[in-house]
Structure 1
C-alpha cells in the first residue's frame, strides 16, 4: 500500500470521526507511522503522518472546546452526557494537553493549511509545536485596573490541610521515556509488565483528570460571592475536599506502581543487553519440559 493511499485513508477516517476516543486513536496511529517513517528515512510518509497527527490534534481541540461551551462552567453537558474531565480521562488525554489542542483549534484552518504547505515545500514534517509557535496569538497585555468591585461576603476559610495538587505535576511524569515513545509491541507475546504498566498509566491519567475537576469545583466553592449560598456551598466544598484527598492518595499509589514497573523493566532490559523493551522477550530461553 502506497504512502498516498494510507494518507487518503487516514484523512477520510479523521473526517468521519465525531468523538475524542476515535480521533485520539488516529492521532496515536499517525504518530506511530511517523516514527516508523522517520526510522526508515521515508521523508514523504513522515510528512504525511505528521500532517494527519496535527489535524487529529486540532480536531480533538475543537471537540474539547465545544464541551466546555456547553458545560455551564463545570464541564457538564446538558444532554446528560459525561462532563469534560470524564471525556478527557476516558480518552487518556490530560487537561494540559486538551488546553493546548484547544489553542490549536482557535487558529484559522486556512492559516494552518498554509503552514502545512510551507513545511511540505521545505521537506520538513509539520507539528503542533511549530503551528503554535508560528501562528498562535500572544497573550493580551494586561489592561488598566478597573474600579474595585463591591466587597462580597467572605467565604469560609479553606482547609489548610487540603492536599496541594500543584506538586503532582512532576510525579505524574516520572515514567520512563519509552512509555511516550511508542515502544509497545502489539503482539500476543507482550510481557505482563508492559500490560501492568499500561493499566497503571491509564489509571494515573484518569485520576489526574478527576483531581483537576475536583480542584476546579473546590476553587469555585471557595471563591463564590453569592452570600445566600455560601453556607450550603461550604458543606459541599468540604465534601469535595475529602474526596479530593482520597483521590490524591489513589494517585500517589498508582503513580508509584508506574515508576516501579518502569524501573523493573529497565533492569530487565540492561540485564538482557538490549536497547528496547520489546526485545526483552526474545532474550528469554524457555525451559524445556522433561518427557
Structure 2
C-alpha cells in the first residue's frame, strides 16, 4: 500500500469509493510524498510518512495525516481489502497520533488569567480540531518509546491481529508501582534560605515538588500583601521539572483565585488536602477550622496508590506556619528535588526560598 494510495485493487462500486485524498491546501500538499520508484514500494511510503510527521510544525497537519489514514483504514475494512491493508493504514494513524501527542504535551493550552486581555488569543484544543478525549489519549500514546512502539506493531502483525489505539494504550499504561520511600535528606544538599526566586531561576534549578504558602491579601489590613495578580506573575512555573507537583495552601475565600494561580503557573488541577485544626477563628455561617492545600501536576499524572488520606488533624505549630508532618507526607508522594516557597525557615532536604520579590 502506498502513501494513502489505492494500490492495484479492483475498482469498487461508486457507493463504496473511499474519500478523495487530493491535498486541499498547499500546506497539506507539502506533506504528501510522491509515488516512490517500484523497487522501494514496500518501504518508501512508511519512511515518507515518518519524515512528514517529523517535519510537521502544526498539530493540524499531523491530525490531517491521521484522519486520512483512518479513512483509508476504514475503507480497506469495508471493502474487504484484507488485514494487511488495514494495519498498514492503522500504523500510519498510530504514528500520527503519537506525534500529535508529543506536540500537544509541549503546547501551553491553558494558564493565565482567563479574563485577561489576551484570553481570546490563546490557542485551544477546539481551535486545533482536537477533542479533550483525543488529546488525553494521544498524549498517553506519546509516552510509549519508539522502540516499544515498533516492537508492539511487529508483534501484532506477526500474530495476525488488528492494530488498534486501545492496544497501544494498554502498553502506555505503566505497571502498578511499588510505594516509593522518601529520598533521604542527605541526597539533596541544603541550600539554606534563598532570598529570591530569581536566584533559583538564574541557577537553572528544577524541582519535582513545589510547596507554597503564599501571603494572601486581606488577612491583615496592615500587611502590604501582594495582589493575586502579582502572585500569579511570579516565575514559579519556570522552576518546575518536566514532571512535577505543585501544592498551594489557600484560605477558603481565595479558593477560586488559587485555581487560577495554579493554571497560571502551568499546572493541571489535581485535588485538595485538608488540615483540620482543633480551633478556629470567627466566620459565618461556619467557624473556619481547616486549611486547604490545593495540588496540581505537570507532565505525567501521578499514579493512584495506597497513599495517606486527604486530611490531617493537627494543632497549630508553636512557631506558626503549617504542620511539619505535611512536608513528610509530600516527601512520600511527590517527586524530588523539593522546594518550599514563602518560608524563612531552613528545612533539611528542601530548598527554601523567602521570595523577597513579595516584600
Q: TM-score, normalised by structure 1?
A: 0.44
User: By percentage of residues, which structure has more strand?
Assistant: 2
Please report the TM-score for the alignment, with normalisation by the length of structure 2.
Answer: 0.37
Q: Which is helix-richer, 1 or 2?
A: 1
Which protein is bigger by CA-based radius of gyration?
2
